[in-house]
Amino acid sequence: HIITILADDFGWADVGFHRDPPIRAVKTPHLDHLCKKEGLELDRHYVFKFCSPTRTAFNSGRNPIHVNVLNINDCYANPKDPIGGYMGMPRNMTGIAQKMKKGGYSTHMMGKWHVGMATPQHSPRGRGYDTSLHYFDGANDYWTSVSGRCGREQITDLWATDKPAKYLNNSRSCNQHNQVAGCIYEDLMFLEELKFIINNHTEQQGPLFIYWTPHVVH
């Protein structure tokens, strides 16, 4: 099984295993254990300075300069270029989840996408993920999942694979200062989806490939 965790704007000194001596403000015991006891730290492995180029690079397996180096608005498009004229990853590029599916993996994604949304081919499903619980844009509200407006209407950016995740939408009254019953923090939704996928997975479904991109930090 493979689980990839992508964290936006997560600083080098924001993990406990880079703090010697340790400080009270930074405690990451699970990441520390994974890095020092069960895994390997690639301390010369760098990513791009913006979030969308990093995500398109991971999903395409290409250097950002060959995929996307701009954090442009999702609405920008070049009608003269139907292949690469949209924000995110060009349509003619193969995604990592598509390759994993060919290798027999069950593929799932949860969290921030930001790899494109202009066509169904740009979506997580279009890029090879069997299921996803995600938001498309660069950011949305942690409590209401609102991401901008369309005219007078607020846009709710929370999706379950290929349709709106309306069953998970909080009340618009939910916020950091109004966490009443029924208000669920968005990253908790992604975490619960992750645990559901893992706990309900069977050997008959093949090995798991999970791409988890928490909203927290960025």
Residue 21 preceded by cis peptide, ω within 30: yes
Residues shown for the chain: 218
Phi, psi of 124 (to 5 degrees): -55, -40
Task: Report yes or no: 170 and 143 within 8 Å, Cβ to Cβ.
Answer: yes
114 part of the active site: yes
User: Of 1, 30, 33, 51, which one is the catalytic site residue?
Assistant: 51
User: Of 18, 45, 108, 114, which one is the catalytic site residue?
Assistant: 114
Distance CA 135, CA 138 (A): 8
Task: Report yes or no: 111 and 134 within 8 Å, Cβ to Cβ.
Answer: yes
DSSP H/E element including 211: strand 208-213
Residue found under tokens 């139907």: 82
Distance CA 79, CA 119 (A): 13
DSSP letters spanning 157-177: --EETTEE-GGGPPPTT-BTT
Distance CA 218, CA 119 (A): 25
75 part of the active site: no
Distance CA 115, CA 132 (A): 13
Residues with catalytic roles = 51, 114
